[in-house]
A and B are shown apart, each in its own frame.
Chain A
Amino acid sequence: DAGVTQSPTHLIKTRGQHVTLRCSPISGHKSVSWYQQVLGQGPQFIFQYYEKEERGRGNFPDRFSARQFPNYSSELNVNALLLGDSALYLCASSLGPLSGNTIYFGEGSWLTVV
C-alpha cells in the first residue's frame, strides 16, 4: 500500500511569492496534519484537518493556510514567502484526529526561499 505522498519534493521560490504543497494520505486515513521542520530542529505543528474541517492550528502566522478535500487529500498554502519559511514541510496522516492515533509521515517537500 502507498504511504503518505507529497508533492513537489523540492522547490525554490522567491521572497514574496506564494507556494502550494500537496499531500495524499494513506488510504483509509481521514486526518491530515502539516508540520514545518527547519534544518537542525524538530518538526513544528502547523495544522490538523479531519473530515475537511480544521481541528487544530499551531503558532504560525495567517500567511499559512490549508484545506482538505473530499478525498481527504490536503493542500498547504503559504503566502508572501519569507526567507525563514525555508524548511522541510511534512505531511502526516492518521485514521482519525485522536491524539493517541499513530501518525504516519510522508517524506516531505523541501522549500527553499531565496
Chain B
Amino acid sequence: AQSVTQLGSHVSVSEGALVLLRCNYSSSVPPYLFWYVQYPNQGLQLLLKYTTGATLVKGINGFEAEFKKSETSFHLTKPSAHMSDAAEYFCAVSVRDSGGGADGLTFGKGTHLIIQP
C-alpha cells in the first residue's frame, strides 16, 4: 500500500518569498504523483501531476514540483508567493494499474499555506 507524508501542517511565508511545501511518498511500485489545492469551502483543484518522463513538472499559477526517486520526494515550489496562494495544499499518490482494481488517490494530511503581507 502507498502512503504520503506532508511535512508541516502549516507553512507561513512572506508575500514575494519562496514557497516550499514538502511531500514524501511510500510506494512499492512506480507512482503517479499529484499536487492539489483546496480553497476554503471548495473542492480540490489539480496544480500539477507527474506520470512519466521529465522529473521537473510545471503546473498552474507558477507552481512546479520535482520527482526525486532516490529521495521518494515530490516537493512543491513557487519562486514568489502571492496573497492569492493562501490555501490548503494536498500531495497525493496513486499506483500504476496492475490490471485489476483501482485504489484511488492516497492523500497526505495537507499543508495550510499562510501568506504574510
Contact = CB atoms under 8 A, between A and B. Distances in A.
Interface of A: 4, 33, 35, 40-46, 48, 50, 55-58, 90, 97-100, 102-108
Given A43-B90, A44-B107, A55 B102 contact: yes
A77 to B, nearest CB: 18
Given A42-B109, A45-B103, 16 more contacts: A35-B105, A40-B110, A42-B90, A43-B44, A43-B105, A44-B107, A55-B101, A90-B43, A99-B102, A102-B46, A102-B49, A103-B46, A103-B105, A105-B43, A105-B45, A108-B42
B107 A43 contact: yes
A98 B97 contact: yes
B43 A58 contact: no
Given A99-B97, A100-B96, A48 B43 contact: no
A45 B109 contact: no
Contacts, number: 70
B117 interface: no
A93 to B, nearest CB: 11
Interface in B23-73: 32, 36, 41-46, 49, 51
A73 to B, nearest CB: 17
B104 A45 contact: yes
B65 to A, nearest CB: 15
A45 B105 contact: yes
